[in-house]
């Protein structure tokens, strides 16, 4: 089939636009065309590999992607890596897919590999959903390689459409900068930054994306992308299949992400892009672009699985909302409680992914049964909280956790109690029914209003979903404390 290149499509669009609008820039009659030379946005003395972009003719002459990578995630489950980093990724459950994993493994055994991971600045804090990626960077550095943290000051202006049914809210430059200022501090707790060979570097892609010139970008790179190829990526197909509009702005996101890899390869000799499995199509684009534009550069992409809980919920959310990493947006106690409330079936997996405990210790803790699993959950909560907020917060958190069940006199004896059968707990008991039986509300409609107003809590954590149920996992400690407002508290126990 005929392949339609990106520059053909965009130039056609540009010509149509020029018929109904004023040109964005006019050439002065006195200015010779020769004076409009291509300029590089690279700062002086930047490390550069293959700086000059392909011309239109060179791009046309470049071999059509002999190494074109499938949009389907590559199965690497049968491969047994030798390098420390990739072995860690496999053993602890981080590895989902990787391009040319055998060659990457050899390179990581032979010397330092520079890898990057991108974080768009869509909020003033990252949340637990980003913690997996941060842990990958931490393991990368501990394995003797160099991490680059790429902050998406430029790509945030476009908005990543991956997995979204609607366009993201557009942020102002001031909003994006404020978000970057809020995000950057968390990385200092996990990585060592500096100028050394394996010390981390933080970069903002606004440095090069905001200085791109539209026509020059089309001329140099438009022929390296085809609409046919871009439409084949799963993230695009899913959006179109749901018949939700995919704006031209969002469609460009994958191009800008691909260009990020090209720039990082030129500036920092970065050869590995890391990311979540939902980014596979965008990352494949970056690998293919960099290989073609940088004369066969040897570059790779590796993805981690998207983490969900054993009951199918997205990682990083709770009944009270997002689990933010910044203490000013989520108190350390609430962060600790999030991990303490981990489902029994997730404890072993989360210990391997989100702590640095030895694998043998993780397996030992995860093997506990019945009420004993709660000790493992406390270890998980302590380790995760210590890594993010430091040892200093744990004493107060433990004191708070011990008192959360107690009344004003420090005893639970004066709290109203409600018993449920083991069968009821196994099926799950609606929280609305329990609040009514405890006398906290007279009707289901009244209870719904109280929950929607933010007054309901389970073990001190806010409940926002009126469909919440109390399960046997939640009752594994023997009791659950339900609160309505500041004064009404009760215990639900298994009979």
Question: Is the model more confident about 439 or about 478?
Answer: 439
Alpha-carbon separation of residue 339 from 72, 293, 335, 342, 457 (angstroms)? 33, 45, 7, 5, 17
Instruction: Assess whether pLDDT exceeds 80 at residue 129.
Output: yes
Q: What's the mean pLDDT in 254-272?
A: 94
Q: What's the mean pLDDT in 61-71?
A: 49
Instruction: Assess whether pLDDT exceeds 60 at residue 296.
Output: yes
pLDDT at position 22 is 34
Distance (Å, whole) CA 161 – CA 155: 11
pLDDT at position 62 is 41
Instruction: Assess whether pLDDT exceeds 90 at residue 357.
Output: yes
Quickly state the pLDDT bin for 402 (edges 50, 70, 90): confident
- Percent of the chain at pLDDT > 90 equals 41
Quickly state the pLDDT bin for 317 (edges 50, 70, 90): low
Q: In terms of DSSP bridges, do strands 488-494 and 417-420 run parallel, antiparallel, or are they unpaired?
A: parallel
Instruction: Assess whether pLDDT exceeds 70 at residue 179.
Output: yes
Q: What's the mean pLDDT in 197-210?
A: 95
Name the DSSP class of 74.
P
Angle between helices 373-389 and 394-403 (to 10 degrees): 140
Q: Alpha-carbon dihedral of residues 357, 363, 369, 371, nearest 10 degrees? A: 0
Count the Cβ atoms, other than its own, within 10 Å of residue 9.
18
Give the range with max mean pLDDT: 108-112, 235-239, 405-409.
108-112
Quickly state the pLDDT bin for 321 (edges 50, 70, 90): low
Name the DSSP class of 35.
G
Q: What's the mean pLDDT in 63-74?
A: 54
Instruction: Assess whether pLDDT exceeds 70 at residue 462.
Output: yes
Distance (Å, whole) CA 20 – CA 18: 5
Instruction: Assess whether pLDDT exceeds 60 at residue 425.
Output: yes
Distance (Å, whole) CA 420 – CA 422: 7
Alpha-carbon separation of residue 211 from 206, 207, 332, 433, 449 (angstroms)? 8, 7, 40, 59, 51
Q: Which of 258-262, 414-418, 465-469 has the lowest mean pLDDT?
A: 414-418
Q: Which of 27-41, 78-92, 304-318 has the lowest mean pLDDT?
A: 27-41
Give the containing element (helix H, strand E) for 419: strand 417-420
- Percent of the chain at pLDDT > 70 equals 79
Write down the mean pLDDT value for the chain.
81
Cα–chain center distance at 490: 37
Give the containing element (helix H, strand E) for 130: helix 128-142
Q: What's the mean pLDDT in 362-377?
A: 91
Nearest in space to 489 (alpha carbons), one of 432, 402, 424, 412: 412
pLDDT at position 105 is 97
pLDDT at position 322 is 81
């Amino acid at each position: 089939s005929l392949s339609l290149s990106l520059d053909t499509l965009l130039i056609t669009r540009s010509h149509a636009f020029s018929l109904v609008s004023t040109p964005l820039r006019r050439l002065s009659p006195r200015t010779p065309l020769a004076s409009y030379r291509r300029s590089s946005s690279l700062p002086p003395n930047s490390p550069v590999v293959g700086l000059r972009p392909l011309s239109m003719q060179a791009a046309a002459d470049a071999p059509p992607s002999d190494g074109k990578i499938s949009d389907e995630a590559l199965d690497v489950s049968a491969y047994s890596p030798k390098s420390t980093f990739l072995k860690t990724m496999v053993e602890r459950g981080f590895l989902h897919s990787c391009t040319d994993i055998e060659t990457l493994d050899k390179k990581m055994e032979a010397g330092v590999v520079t890898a990057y991971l991108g974080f768009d600045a869509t909020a003033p804090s990252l949340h637990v959903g980003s913690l997996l990626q941060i842990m990958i960077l931490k393991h990368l550095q501990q394995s003797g390689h160099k991490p680059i943290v790429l902050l998406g000051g430029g790509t945030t202006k476009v908005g990543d459409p991956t997995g979204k049914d609607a366009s993201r809210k557009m942020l102002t430059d001031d909003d994006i900068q404020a978000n970057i200022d809020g995000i950057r501090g968390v990385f200092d707790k996990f990585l060592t930054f500096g100028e050394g060979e394996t010390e981390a570097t933080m970069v903002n892609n606004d440095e090069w994306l905001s200085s791109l010139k539209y026509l020059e970008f089309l001329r140099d790179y438009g022929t390296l992308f085809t609409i046919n190829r871009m439409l084949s990526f799963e993230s695009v197909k899913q959006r179109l299949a749901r018949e939700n509009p995919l704006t031209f702005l969002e469609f460009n996101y994958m191009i800008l992400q691909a260009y990020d890899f090209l720039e990082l390869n030129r500036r920092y000799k970065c050869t590995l892009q890391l990311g979540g499995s939902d980014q596979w199509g965008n990352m494949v684009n970056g690998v293919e672009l960099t290989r073609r534009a940088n004369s066969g550069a040897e570059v790779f992409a590796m993805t981690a699985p998207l983490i969900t809980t054993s009951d199918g919920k997205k990682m990083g959310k709770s009944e009270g909302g997002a689990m933010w990493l910044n203490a000013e947006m989520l108190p350390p106690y609430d962060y600790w409680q999030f991990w303490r409330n981990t489902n029994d079936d997730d404890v072993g997996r989360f210990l391997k992914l989100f702590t640095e405990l030895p694998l043998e210790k993780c397996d030992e803790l995860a093997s506990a049964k019945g009420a004993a699993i709660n000790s493992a959950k406390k270890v998980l909560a302590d380790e995760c909280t210590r890594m993010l907020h430091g040892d200093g917060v744990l004493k107060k958190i433990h004191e708070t956790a011990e008192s959360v069940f107690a009344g004003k006199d420090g005893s639970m004896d004066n709290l109203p109690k409600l018993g449920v059968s083991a069968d009821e707990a196994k099926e799950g008991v609606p929280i609305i029914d329990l609040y009514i039986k405890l006398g906290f509300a007279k009707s289901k409609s009244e209870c719904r209003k109280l929950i929607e107003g933010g007054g309901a809590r389970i073990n001190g954590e806010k409940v926002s979903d009126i469909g919440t149920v109390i399960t046997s996992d939640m009752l594994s400690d023997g009791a659950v404390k339900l609160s309505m407002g500041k004064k009404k508290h009760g215990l639900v126990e298994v009979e």
